[in-house]
Amino acid sequence: MDIRFNIFDVLRDEGKLQKVLVYPSHSTENDPTEHTKTENYMNPIPIEAYVRQVSPESVKWTYYGNIPVDSLVIMAERRWYETLKAAKKIIVDEIEYQTLWDDQKGFNILKRENYLICVVVRKNV
């Protein structure tokens, strides 16, 4: 498909892109008998993304009420797919979020032709 314009260039010109800190992590097994694990966060990777709040209508009709209302939808460039997939912690406006996993332990990233849509939920403190 012929790409006539880049949506992220338009959003950047309008000042709608926001800096999001993505923390990839890896887990280490502490005890082989009890299988306890520790998450080790790596250095944050700053990405520019379009961030919006999940509306109550989309929670009810699009996501079938499976996600909390204070969740966010992050729209990012397609090149950040592997980075978002490895993320365990995402910080937006100094609020900690975590990536949303579905019941089949799959990650909720919707791939479009030119961008990604990722749903994140607020981390329980």
Residue pLDDT, tens place only, 59-79: 555 555 566 767 888 999 999
Assigned CATH class of 7-122: mainly beta
Q: Token digits for 2?
A: 């012929």
pLDDT at residue 80, rounded to an integer: 93
Q: Reduce the DSSP state of residue 85 to 3 states and report it.
A: helix
Q: What are the sequence ranges of the domains in the chain?
A: 7-122
pLDDT at residue 63, rounded to an integer: 55
Do 6 and 75 touch, CB atoms closer than 8 A? Answer: no
* Overall average pLDDT of the 41-55 stretch: 92
User: DSSP labels for 37-64?
Assistant: EEEEE---EEEEEEEEEPPHHIIIIIST
